[in-house]
Amino acid sequence: MSQPQPIRASLFVTCIVDQLYPEVGVSVVRVLRKAGVDVDFPEGQTCCGQPLYNSGFTVEARRLAERTLDILDDRGYVVVPSGSCGAMMRVFYLDLFADDPEMLARANDLSHRIYEFTEFLSDVVGYEPRTVGAANGGTTVAYHPSCHLLREMEVKEAPQGLLDAAPGVERVELPDAEQCCGFGGTFAVKYPHISEEMLADKVAAATASGADTLTACDMGCLMHIGGAVSRQGLPLRVRHIAQVLDSGAG
């Protein structure tokens, strides 16, 4: 297949991946490159401001949103491996700057060129995972649709389609998949007793699915679910979808 111009995209890796899960960022870059995307990583990026915005601190959230816009202005496509940070930048920046026409214009511009990782691969690149090469061994994967990806970014088919097409990956249904895992950012520490109940149900569903791997497009949810899986010593791998698609990451 010939492709006249490589698609160029800037990666907004998210602060949680940057600081806690750099290996996820590496898989994101590898998969994007294998899909023929020319990846760029704008310097100086940190947090999009979502934790502050969700806690009601809009003044502080604007500080971070503004510096994020400074970094991402005029960058073309922006790819973010998270539905919740993606939703913040695509949807909630517009609310955050509703009363500031100049900032709103910049936020609006970003909202039209920012894509969640799987959404970008599927809708913009038209990527077929078979080009990744053979996966090492078979793996059964259950997919957890994270809430903001599903209901704010409205990305539903792309991650499942990529998993279904990936060689060596067998996707199995996750019971009650669209139930929230109970993370909710600061919710998990403000109301741990409720969060843990939701988490227990999600972990039980993942176990019941029979999958050896649970995947999602958000490291926040996966840190939460994975934290319980590791605490309970369950035989379940918890991995970002980029890691599942990146056969080289083993």
Partner 1 sequence: MAEVVTRQFVPASQAAVKDAQLRQALRRAGTGFDGTRREAIEEVTPGVWEQWRVQARRIKEHTIGHLDYYLEMLERNVTAAGGRVHFAVDAEQANAIVSEIARANGVWTVTKSKSMVSEELGLNHVLEAQGIDVFETDLGEYIIQLADETPSHLVAPALHKTRGQVAQLFADQLGVPYSDDIEEMARIARVVLRQKFLDADMGISGANFLVAETGSLVIITNEGNGRLCTSAPRVHVGLAGMEKVIPSLQDLAVFLRLLPRSATGQRITSYMSMVTGPRRSEDEDGPEEFHLVIVDNGRSRLLADPALRESLYCIRCGACLNVCPVYQRVGGHAYGWVYPGPIGSIVTPGLVGVGQAKDLPNASTLCGACRDACPVQINIPRMLLHLRHNIAEGPEQYEGTGSDTESLLARGFASVMSSPRLLNIGRRIGRRLLAPIAKGGVLGPTRIPLVSRWTRARDLPIPAPRSFSEVWRDELAGQQSNRSGD
Among 76, 126, 133, 138, binds partner 1 (CB under 8 A): 133
Nearest distance from C-beta of residue 131 to partner 1, angstroms:
3
Q: Is 178 in the site for partner 1 (CB under 8 A)?
A: yes
| For partner 1, the closer CB: 29 or 78 | 29
Among 83, 86, 159, 182, binds partner 1 (CB under 8 A): 182
Among 29, 79, 121, 214, binds partner 1 (CB under 8 A): 29
Handedness of CA 118, 156, 174, 48 (dihedral sign): positive
> Residues 109-128 vs partner 1: string with x where CB under 8 A?
--------------------
Q: Please choose, out of 107-115, 165-173, 185-193, 205-213, the segment that lies near partner 1 by the rule CB under 8 A.
A: 185-193
> Between residue 34 and residue 53, which ones bind partner 1 under the rule CB under 8 A?
34-39, 41, 43-47, 49, 51-53
Contacts of 34 (CB under 8 A, 6+ apart): 131, 132, 246
Q: Please choose, out of 113-121, 164-172, 179-187, 206-214, the segment that lies near partner 1 by the rule CB under 8 A.
A: 179-187
Which of 119, 173, 128, 175 lies closest to 150 in space, CA to CA?
119
3-state secondary structure of 59: helix
Q: Is 242 in the site for partner 1 (CB under 8 A)?
A: no
Distances (CA, A) of 77 to 10, 40, 42, 116: 6, 10, 12, 10
Q: What is the C-alpha separation between 92 and 98, in angstroms, rounded?
A: 10
- Any idea which residue has 């290996």 for tokens? 23
Q: Is 3 in the site for partner 1 (CB under 8 A)?
A: yes
Q: Please, where are the H alpha helices in the chain?
A: 15-19, 22-34, 50-54, 58-72, 83-87, 93-96, 101-111, 117-119, 147, 157-165, 187-190, 192-209, 219-231, 241-245
Q: Is 140 in the site for partner 1 (CB under 8 A)?
A: no
| For partner 1, the closer CB: 47 or 69 | 47
Q: How many residues bind partner 1 (CB under 8 A)?
A: 78
> Between residue 63 and residue 92, which ones bind partner 1 under the rule CB under 8 A?
63-64, 67, 92
Q: What is the C-alpha separation between 87 and 116, in angstroms, rounded?
A: 9
